[in-house]
Structure 1
Amino acid sequence: MSVLYEQSIVIVRPAISTDRYGNEKADWGEAADRTPVDQVSVQPAGGSQEDNSDKQVVVTGWLLVSAPGTYPDLRATDRVEHEGMTLQATGKIGRWPTPVGVRHIEAQLKEVD
């Protein structure tokens, strides 16, 4: 296996709870499901942007790529924990199947400080 895919992440899938008005909401606390995933690469991508409109915020883009032959169950509504950061998908997860199996996934992520 290439040294490119020696990083690990944790996929965090929220539990769904209902508030007192009957609205469903994501619960990212203790009830969230956490799944460790190995053989990925998480690299900076797309640079950083500052938003000073209301408060000082820096948004950094990241690219997650799984190793060839791996196909983690990552959804656009999940979060990813990596090296002390909490990241979220900025769109749909790219899935790269092949006629004989699975190739890999790719996801554009962002961290908001």
Structure 2
Amino acid sequence: MTLHYTQTVVLLRAPFITDRYGNTTSDRDWDRSTRTTVRRVSVQPDTSAEDTGDRPVVVTGWRLVTRTGVDLDLAPGDRVVALGRVLDVDGDVARWTLGGRHHHTEARLKEVSG
């Protein structure tokens, strides 16, 4: 597979919401998210799945890959705007090393519709 690093994405990181008692919740305030533009990455299709339980759901997977030597400030719970879609980071972000040095970063992304 040949990767062309010609895409631009926006990384979104939202603060956690604090409830009326001052406790931090696990919900995020996406209206107050920070936006970081990242250029020269590759976003490619990954696995997809469908579920026809109580309501039809389609989970579409994507994979974000950086160029050699490039890392991203990206973590589980963040979102990525790519290809006109808002995608959730799915699991841990993989930081590949080669010879003890950072080689590239990969992240699985997902979009849930339905």
**TM-score, reference length from structure 1:** 0.85
Matched residues, number? 110
Q: Which amino acid aligns with 2:44?
A: Q
Indicate yes or no: 2:30 matched with 1:28. yes
Between the aligned partners of 2:3 and 2:105, the Cα distance in structure 1 is 17
Is residue 66 of structure 2 the alignment partner of residue 66 of structure 1? yes
Give the Cα–Cα distance (whole angstroms) in 2 for the partners of residues 3 and 78 of structure 1: 23
2:80 paired residue number: 80
Q: In the alignment, which residue of structure 1 is the partner of 2:38?
A: 37
* 1:45-94 deviations in Å (ceiling 9; x for gaps): 12x21122122211111111001121111111211111221111221110
**For the aligned residues, what is the CA RMSD?**
1.9
Matches of 1:11 and 1:20, distance apart in 2: 29
Is the CA contact (8 Å cut-off) linking 2:96 and 2:105 kept in structure 1?
A: yes
**Identity across aligned pairs (percent)?**
44
Supply the AA of the counterpart residue of 1:34.
R
Deviations 1:4-45 (A, max 9, x none): 00001111001222022434231111x111101111100001
Deviation (angstroms), 1:101: 4.5
**2-structure distance, mates of 1:106, 1:42:** 10
Letter in 1 for 2:56: Q
- Deviation for aligned residue 1:97: 3.3
